[in-house]
């Protein structure tokens, strides 16, 4: 077993209750195999998005993606925060997510972000099935991205995602990020976010 495989094994979630194996295995690495994503795998990711649930079936999600070595990849990369620039250069694919802000009738779509999140969750599970890691990021200059990619009015860039097959070398990361890559995963307990019959009755 090589170092990347060992890290992946150690990152399997230590759940309090048994859940679907793909969900336990999912984590957000900052290293990836130096291997392009297969075209059909990318299409499968978007097919998973296509069948995600959405309010009134409006499907408000939109994506811009680019492969390493292209001008568009560099444009996406240059919209990232300095912190994210320190590791995203390792990803074979970079992606921006966006959502349509209003309904066809011109009303504010309050659920658009919710639907975008659902679609990304579905993409993430499909990716896990294919051995593809997704690292979702908030550290993106969305206003710059809107201008660079001439995003039409009424659509809003929300987050960024780095994609690639699980693997890669820790040495590709700055030392502080190497420590984060191997740190123990933590989650708050269920009782802190799921309240039966009343809001936080134990508080």
Domain ranges of the chain: 3-186
Mean pLDDT within 125-133: 97
On the CB side of 147, CA atoms within 13 Å amount to: 5
pLDDT, tens digit, for every residue of 67-86?
A: 999 999 999 999 999 999 99
Question: What CA–CA distance (Å, rounded) separates 116 from 122?
Answer: 10
Q: Which pLDDT score is estimated for 179?
A: 86
Q: Do the Cβ atoms of 64 and 96 come closer than 8 Å?
A: yes
Q: Which pLDDT score is estimated for 46?
A: 98
Global pTM? 0.93
Most confident of the ranges 12-21, 114-123, 194-203: 114-123
CATH superfamily of the domain spanning 3-186: NADH Oxidase (3.40.109.10)
Q: Which pLDDT score is estimated for 109?
A: 97
């Amino acid at each position: 077993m090589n170092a990347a495989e060992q890290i992946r094994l150690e990152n399997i979630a230590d759940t309090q209750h048994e859940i679907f194996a793909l969900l336990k295995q999912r984590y957000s690495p900052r290293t990836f195999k130096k291997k392009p994503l297969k075209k059909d795998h990318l299409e499968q990711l978007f097919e998973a998005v296509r069948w995600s649930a959405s309010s009134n079936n409006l499907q408000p999600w939109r994506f811009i993606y680019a492969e390493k070595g292209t001008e568009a990849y560099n444009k996406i990369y240059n919209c990232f925060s300095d912190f994210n620039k320190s590791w995203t250069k390792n990803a074979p694919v970079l992606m921006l997510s966006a959502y349509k802000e209003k309904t066809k009738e011109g009303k504010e779509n309050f659920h658009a972000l919710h639907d975008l999140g659902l679609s990304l969750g579905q993409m993430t599970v499909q990716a896990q099935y294919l051995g593809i890691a997704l690292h979702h990021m908030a550290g993106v200059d969305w206003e710059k991205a809107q201008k660079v990619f001439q995003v039409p009015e009424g659509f809003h860039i929300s987050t960024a995602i780095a994609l690639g097959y699980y693997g890669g070398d820790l040495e590709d990361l700055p030392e502080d990020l190497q420590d984060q890559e191997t740190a123990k995963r933590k989650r708050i307990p269920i009782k802190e976010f799921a309240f039966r019959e009343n809001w936080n009755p134990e508080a």
